[in-house]
Structure 1
């Protein structure tokens, strides 16, 4: 069962997946950063008029 695609070793595949996992984790951390989330959210009593 040989494909026309270039075959890579298990070691190379793990290396590539590791890079994608690191980028995904970094992106998720930036998007869900607690400090940024607090800065973007309104205070609890905003617009209450008191």
Structure 2
């Protein structure tokens, strides 16, 4: 007969709490990654002098 190990099980409330933490971390990570890209897209390009700067 196999004994169940109750130490590995968590309650539904604990599981929801853990998933909420992961969701918050994902949202923060997405904001950090995508926000600089959005700012870079809306910025104006530098003035083109029309020459090779390495001549």
- Answering whether residue 34 of structure 2 is matched by residue 32 of structure 1, we say yes
**Ranges in structure 2 where 5+ consecutive residues have no aligned partner:** 51-55
Q: Which residue of 1 aligns with 2:17?
A: 15
TM-score by length of 1: 0.63
Q: Considering only CA atoms, is the larger Rg found in Structure 1 or Structure 2?
A: 2
Pairwise CA RMSD of aligned residues?
3.3
